Amino acid sequence: MHISIANAEELYEAKGSKNVPENYVVYNIHINGTYHCSARFSQLSKLHDKLKREFGQGCLEKFPPRHFFYMKPEDTSERRYLLQKYLQRIAQNPNIVNGDTFQSFLLNAQKEVQKGPEEDVTLEVYLCNGKKVAVDILSTDQTDDVLETVCNVLELAPELTYYFALYLVDDLEGNHVVRRLQEFESPYISLSRAEEHQKIQIRKAYFCSDFDKILWEHPIAQNLLYLETISEVKNGHITPHDDAQEQLELLRAERDRRLEYLQLARVQPGYGFIQFGEALSNWPDENSRILVSLGNPGTDSKIVLSEKTGETYDFYVQRMRCWRTYTVDEGVELEFEYLFDGDDGKPKMKWIKLLSASTIHVAMSLQFLVEELVRINQKKRLRIPADRAGTFKPKRAQDRPDLSFITSDQGDEESTATITVKLSELIEKVKADEAEWDSAAAAAERALIEEGLDADEDEDDPRANFASMAGL
């Protein structure tokens, strides 16, 4: 997570029965390159007190001191820098970032900035064929609430919900994914602040292509994966061999051969990778312009840097000791420390730097990939909606809606298919829904499948101790 405080500004609010205006300063917090919320010093101070009680002062940066006199925005440069440094230290600690205290602070702060009451709204979420699902939600519902609602409307098996995620995209063809939406934000609020042409799209959330086999067993999940794969072939992110290209076209023409299409596409170059476009790098030389991709095609997780000449350089995630993002004059830069095999036979570490418009998306994707690798290595199952104890879990529609648009791969035609589900109706039937499926049985079945996905434990492999190298 990349956190910065871009600036401070002065606001006013009415106080007392006479509505006397009172001025105060807020700090505008940007997360992963996007404005998220504005917070007063007192709010951040209360957050610090809660985190100190929960985690101890040793996990936190020193919090800036209070001042007895009012400070105008132009006088807060030092305080703004110290607050940014404090939040950036928090962002480096996954236990704090993923904890309820910090997540609740970020979500509630975003709600406050909305400057309006919580209300019923309709949010359109797009599939990879350009069709859309319209769901009625609350304007402040967080990402997980919306994702579960969409998956229930699509009649996706609940245990498969978090194999997918919601993304902010520049275009529905998947040419440019801006970023993945995170738990601490409201998709409706985030979309309202995005550029007018940007949309929210549901796409797969995992990197290890072995998980494809789990989705192939379920018709709705298989169709969603099928539509995304077709999109990736169309936009050139998957580049089939000449003979495979012809075969893929034949398989696509026969609607009942989708699984064969997926099986063939899965072994083509580019499958399982996210493409981030061009970046400025210090590899292979200073100020090199290279193309960046990241993925786990079923062998090794890696970042691939490609020159226009066709020369490629693989950087295996298991050989990365750590990585970080920071702000420079040109934007946000990502750098990771990588273990090279030295010419003298001795390993050596070197910092590889990347600077582009997609730097934050690269960093977020790298973080999600590492979390997936650690989960697989520790033999932990993927979370399911039932794990969110005490939170809203949507109810499936009782009457099966027309889902034919999910199976259509004609994304070039105009999208008109829409499904709407009322949030109030879903909430009333939450308990009944939870009785419809046995989450324990589903978890056991999935654990058996994932048991065969363990990382290589060869102690002679310098990449074997990645979890400890990454500090996770």
- Cβ 188 vs Cβ 121: under 8 Å: yes
Residues 58-94 have pLDDT tens digits of 888 889 888 877 788 788 888 888 998 889 888 888 8
Tell me, what's the pLDDT at 387? 85
Q: Is 263 left (phi over 0), alpha (psi -120 to 50) or beta?
A: alpha
- Cα–Cα distance between 420 and 75 in angstroms, integer? 50
Which residues in the chain show pLDDT less than 70? 1, 14, 16-20, 33, 114-117, 298, 389-472
Sequence-distant (6+) residues with CB within 8 A of 312 are 304, 305, 306
φ, ψ of residue 288 in degrees (nearest 5): -80, 140
The H or E element containing residue 21 is strand 20-31
3-state secondary structure of 90: helix
For residue 174, give the nearest of 136, 203, 206, 153 by alpha carbon: 203
One-letter amino acid at 155 equals E
Tell me, what's the pLDDT at 128? 93
- Cα–Cα distance between 148 and 213 in angstroms, integer? 22
The answer, as to whether pTM is greater than 0.85, is: no
DSSP state of 208: B
Report the DSSP beta bridge partners of residue 278: 291
Which tokens belong to 344? 């003298």
CB atoms within 10 A of CB 324: 15
Q: What is the C-alpha R_g of the chain?
A: 24
- Cβ 452 vs Cβ 165: under 8 Å: no
- Cα–Cα distance between 310 and 304 in angstroms, integer? 12
Which residue bears the tokens 């996990």?
59
Average pLDDT, the chain: 81
Sequence-distant (6+) residues with CB within 8 A of 252 are 230, 261, 409
Residues 162-207 have pLDDT tens digits of 999 999 999 888 788 989 998 888 899 889 888 999 999 999 999 9
3-state helix, strand, coil in the chain (%, to 5): 40, 25, 35
Tell me, what's the pLDDT at 413? 47
E-strand ranges in 112-227 read: 120-126, 132-138, 164-169, 177-180, 199-204
Tell me, what's the pLDDT at 18? 64
